[in-house]
Structures are given as structure tokens and as C-alpha cells.
Amino acid sequence: MKKSAKTAATSDAWEQGTLGRDEASVRRSSPTREQAVDDALGLQMISIRLPRDLLSRVKLIAGYRGVAYQPLMRDVLGRWARAEMVEIARQTRAQELAERTLRSAQVRRRLPNSGKARDKRDKARQLTSTGGGSS
């Protein structure tokens, strides 16, 4: 009886695939364990139909980058969603500022003599800052 030579469990053996990439080293997780992993990572399985040519290009890019195509798609969608949220926040902030400015202008128009009162305040500030006026 011939004994098979064991490969030393070094990091190189794992990285090069000498260890861990044969059928004897692989088994599927239970559905319960898969669900626990998804829950822990906050993942939700979805189904999406994509044009074949788009999927082929994504797979090509993923291969070039050295990653699987599904994590690449997750990363791309995550980047897009973050950038879109920033843009929405920027637009919302700009809209809020515009509305606030408009409301302020409407309030000033409704106040009697608000322009004259502001002119008097400005003149008073000028006089006090330059030391002018009567003593």
C-alpha cells in the first residue's frame, strides 16, 4: 500500500491552491448557516435580469481586477448609491437655502418701512464705527 505524500500546511500552499481547492476540501454550508452569514453581513439575495453583453463586460472587468463579478457589482452599486446620496443631499440643501432666502425676502416685503429701518440701522452702525456723530 502506497502512502500519499502530505503537503505542509504553509501559507504558500494555501495561496497557490495546493491545499484547499480539491473536492475533498469543499462542502456546502447549510441553509441556516448561509442565512446567518447573510444576516451578519446585512446581505439580501436578489434576482436581476441584465443584458448579456453587460454581464460579459462586468465578468471581464472582474477577471482583470482579480475578483468575482458579483462582489464587483456590489461594490459598483455601493459607490453609485453613495455618490447619488451626496448629490441628493447637495441639491436638497441648495433648495432649502433658496426657499429660506425667498421666505426672508417675502417677510421683508411685508414689513412696513423695513427698507428704511435697515438704512437707519446701517447709518447708525457707520457713525458708531467711525466715531462720528455729536458728543
Full-model pTM: 0.53
> What confidence category does residue 50 fall into, taking pLDDT thresholds of 50, 70 and 90?
very high
Are the C-beta atoms of 133 and 127 separated by less than 8 Å? Answer: yes
Mean pLDDT of 94-106: 86
**pLDDT value for 47:** 93
- The cell for 76 is 459598483
Of residues 76, 9, 16, 33, the one with CA closest to residue 67: 76
**pLDDT value for 102:** 85
> What confidence category does residue 134 fall into, taking pLDDT thresholds of 50, 70 and 90?
low
For residues 32 and 96, give the distance between their C-alpha atoms in angstroms, rounded to a whole number. Answer: 47
What confidence tens digit (pLDDT) does each residue in 69-88 have? Answer: 999 999 999 999 999 999 99
